[in-house]
Amino acid sequence: MTGSGEDGAYSVFQRRWWLDAAAPGCWDEVQVRRGDGVVARLPFVLGRRAGLTRLGTAPFTKTLGPWLAPSDAKYTNALATEIELTGELIERLPRHDVFRQAFAPELTNWLAFHWAGFRASAAITYRIDVLNDLDAVWSSMRENIRREIRKAERQVEVVDDLGLGRLVDLAGRTFARQGLAGGVDTTALERIDAACADRDSRTTLFAVDAQRRVHAAAYFVWDEHVTYYLLGGGDPELRNSGASSLLLWRGIQHAAGVSRSFDFEGSMLEPVERFFRAFGGRQTPYLVLARRGRLAGALAAAAGVARSLRR
């Protein structure tokens, strides 16, 4: 196994600079070293709520979890090393009442977490894994998506200079239409945007018509491995223009020049999943790991009883 430095990461979300922007002063990590290199790390955001210590994630940080240095050992030995390293990371975690994180899809060996009392659930995203043949990507899309893209190209222009405020507004309208609670953490997004801008690792695209109406917006971040569709939204009154499909296609085209894969950061909401699936990506599962201590479990049980009594 070869160490990969202090900032080993499966994704942009595990980078130190990202976490500094997303959760300044609130995050930490545990590490395992071999010789002079880091071979495993597990970053987390530390917080307290309702008297409980929580280890979790940061705003706009889609996945986190452990990173393990790549190994060239044979499969059985590599698995043993993964279990050993993740076990050491778990032992080094600070005392906590609640742990909850979505792990990067690259991390599939969670046995040490299972043995340590963590519970896993599965979530789904969609990824386009090969971006070096955009004609093939186009052909893999469902015809209705290609039709929407062509229609949008006749109605709107794609620009990149309308600012975060317009993006936040459209994302908020979309969340409201979908019945999702909460809005966009604008302060965190501004910090992340500034950090990504310094590293040329983000772009915001807007679809604008001849009347200067903004139909949709999409925000992408990337590293050399993967481009992620981080945030987007559209005007509910202009949804039929196909602008959202066009912006995703432009995001995929841009990703081909900077990354090897494109990740839709797929929602588990049924209509959103159906939309993302139509772009022809590969269904990609990832794990959500959680553990509660006795106090947290007792409080959750009491809250459940209280809800039952109210009903």
State the pLDDT at residue 182: 64
How confident is the prediction along the chain (311 residues), in pLDDT tens digits per residue?
Answer: 444 445 799 999 999 999 999 999 999 999 999 998 999 999 999 999 889 999 999 999 999 999 999 999 999 999 999 999 999 999 999 999 999 999 999 999 999 999 999 999 999 999 999 999 999 999 999 999 999 999 999 999 999 999 999 999 999 888 777 766 667 899 999 999 999 999 999 999 999 999 999 999 999 999 999 999 999 999 999 989 999 999 999 999 999 999 999 999 877 889 899 999 999 999 999 999 999 987 665 555 444 444 544 55
Rounded to whole angstroms, the Cα distance separating 217 from 71 reads 40
Spell out the domains of the chain, with CATH numbers in brackets.
12-124+286-310 (3.40.630), 130-280 (3.40.630.30)
With 0.85 as the threshold, say if the pTM is over it. Answer: yes
The C-alpha torsion from 183 through 187 and 189 to 190, rounded to 10°, is 140
